[in-house]
């Protein structure tokens, strides 16, 4: 059963940082951003778990950062043939994380109607995947959401094309205190910048991100932190 929803304008919902395991992800966060993330939980559907913290700012008023890893003690509930979200089963991406440590790999856009947003992308010949319902328990109650996940797990456009999410009655930021970290800008660089810009426009988030052309695809998040300004940049497989 899907929870009732509260309508919000399309926006940057959260940044995705992939770690080989949560312990290394937390250590990376302490070392890089100067805070210790304490909130988070498990995703039984995908066999993953996370730590999250609020990065809301005037520019991005309802945003958080997610450090996610495969949960070694929890088999995924989705079919064995299907792959986890965010390319987490991709061997090359796992190798990048093993070499470079936890890294920004993707972002998720919140939309008021995820089915309509998927239809808008389909008109651009982009298959964002099926819309699935997921949830996880929290001390503040059950979080429920609908999210796009392809059977092949692909992020698309090297992680620059956002996964789409539609939240139920509650959003993580409703109960996340200010962390001392704020997202000031999310920039996307891609060789197919015009296509990426059209996709962001189609789902309503073009004003929330900066899209520029470049020879190598990358994501770059500018953050204000207790350690001063920090920029997180994705590491591409070409490096």
- Beta strands 182-190 and 210-213: pairing type? parallel
Local structure of 86: helix, strand or coil: helix
At residue 236, the pLDDT reads 60
Q: Distance of alpha carbon 102 from its chain centroid, rounded?
A: 14
Q: 135-183 pLDDT, tens per residue?
A: 888 888 888 999 999 989 999 999 999 999 999 999 999 999 999 999 9
CA atoms of 221 and 136, how far apart (whole Å): 26
Local structure of 96: helix, strand or coil: helix
Give, for 27, the enclosing helix (H) or strand (E). Answer: helix 22-33
Reported as a pLDDT band with limits 50, 70 and 90, residue 79 is confident
Closest to 33 in 3D by CA, of 235, 239, 231, 234 = 231
Task: Tell whether the model's pLDDT for residue 3 goes beyond 70.
Answer: no
């Amino acid at each position: 059963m899907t929870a009732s929803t509260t309508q919000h304008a399309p926006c940057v919902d959260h940044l995705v940082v992939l770690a080989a395991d949560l312990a290394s992800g937390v250590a990376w966060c302490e070392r890089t951003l100067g805070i210790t993330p304490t909130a988070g939980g498990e995703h039984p559907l995908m066999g993953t778990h996370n730590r999250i913290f609020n990065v809301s700012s005037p520019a991005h008023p309802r945003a958080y950062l997610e450090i996610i890893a495969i949960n070694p003690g929890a088999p995924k509930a989705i079919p064995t043939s299907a792959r986890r979200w965010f390319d987490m089963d991709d061997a090359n991406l796992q190798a990048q994380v093993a070499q470079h440590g936890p890294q920004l790999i993707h972002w998720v856009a919140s939309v008021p109607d995820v089915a309509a947003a998927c239809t808008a992308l389909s008109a651009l010949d982009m298959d964002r995947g099926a819309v699935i319902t997921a949830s996880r328990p929290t001390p503040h109650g059950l979080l429920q959401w609908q999210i796009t996940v392809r059977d092949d797990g692909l992020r698309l456009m090297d992680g620059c094309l956002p996964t789409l999410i539609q939240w139920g009655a509650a959003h993580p930021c409703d109960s996340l205190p200010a962390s001392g970290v704020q997202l000031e800008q999310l920039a996307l660089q891609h060789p197919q910048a015009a296509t990426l810009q059209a996709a962001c426009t189609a789902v309503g988030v073009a004003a929330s991100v900066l899209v520029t052309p470049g020879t190598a695809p990358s994501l770059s998040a500018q953050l204000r932190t207790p350690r001063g300004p920090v920029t997180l940049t994705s590491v591409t497989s070409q490096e």
